[in-house]
A = this chain, B = another copy of it.
C-alpha cells in the first residue's frame, strides 16, 4: 500500500520519463513531454537519461525545462536485452531508474518506449502486485466505430484462471472510468460465442463471478471477436494470449484493408482523381485508426503505474501515452481498483467451483 498511498493525495501529477526508449530517440521523447506539459500545466517530469543530452534538448523545450528534474544515467536497456538480463543489470538504466522513481514515491507513473519484456519484468520486480491482485495485466485503448474500448490483458499472462479474469475486469473498468470518463463501463469477456456455455471453464467461471458482483460496471456477458470493433462494450477482458492475438489481428487487418484501398486508388486515372477529391476524409479515417492516437499500454495491478509507449510511436503518440499516464494518476486509478476489489470480496457471489476441482 505504501507506494500507492502518495497517489491518493496527488493534485500535481509527476511522471518519471525514460527518455532513452523506443525508435524515436531522446529528442522526440522530450518534444512529446513538451507537448504534454502544454496540455497539462500541473504535470511535472523526472527525466531519466544522460544529463548533458537532456540539458541540450531542454533548451528547445521551454515549458518542460520549467517543470523537469533531471536524473542522470548513461545506462540503457537495449531492445535486444532479455527480461532476465534487464533484471540483473537494468536497475541503474534510464528505464530501471524511472521505475525506481515510482517505487520511491518520487513519481506517480513511469513512462517508457523501451523494451516491453524488460519493462514488465523490472516493473513487476520493483513495484510488486497490489494487494488482491494475483497478476498484473497490460491494458490499452482500441478504436471502434463509436468510442474507444479498453482491452486487457494484451500479453502479460499467456494463461489465466477465473480469478485473474475477474481482477482484469475490475482493473479495466477502473481504467475506463478514469480515462474514458464513464460512470458504469460496460464490461464483457472475449469468447468464441455469446451463449452461456461457450468457451473455457475459466471464462465461464469468471462470468459467473462477474454476473453476481457488486462493482461499478455493467457486466454484458460475452463478446465475440467480430464485435470488438463495434464499440458496444467499453471494456473487453481476456487472457494475454487471446488479447494479443486479437489486438495484432485487428492491427494487421486494418493494414490489409488500407493497403488494398491504396492499391484500389492507384488502379486508374479515374480512381486517382477520386482519391484526390476524397483525400481529406480519408485522412480523417487514417487518423481515426492511427495507432499513435491510441498509444500508451498500461501495466495495471502494480503498486504504482507503468505506461509503455509503442516503440514505433511518433512525437504525438508519445505525448498521448504521457496523457494516458496523466489521466490515470489524476483519476486515482490505483485507489479505485483497491476499493473495487475490497467491495467485490465483501459481496463475493459464491465460491468458484473449478477452484475446488482443479485445486488451482
Contacts and interface: CB of A to CB of B under 8 A. Distances in A.
Contact of A278 (B145, B244, B265): B265
14 contacts: A225-B250, A227-B248, A227-B252, A238-B245, A245-B246, A246-B246, A249-B253, A260-B285, A261-B261, A261-B282, A263-B285, A271-B277, A274-B277, A274-B281
Contacts of A343: none
A166 to B, nearest CB: 19
A135 to B, nearest CB: 15
B281 A278 contact: no
A274 B278 contact: yes
B225 A244 contact: yes
Interface of A: 143-145, 155, 158-159, 190, 192, 199-200, 224-230, 238, 240-242, 244-261, 263-265, 267-268, 270-271, 273-282, 284-285, 288-289
Given A155-B192, A192-B245, A256 B271 contact: no
B281 A252 contact: no
B271 A252 contact: no
Contacts of A270: 277-278, 280
B200 A226 contact: no
Given A199-B158, A274-B277, A229 B253 contact: yes
A278 B240 CA distance: 40
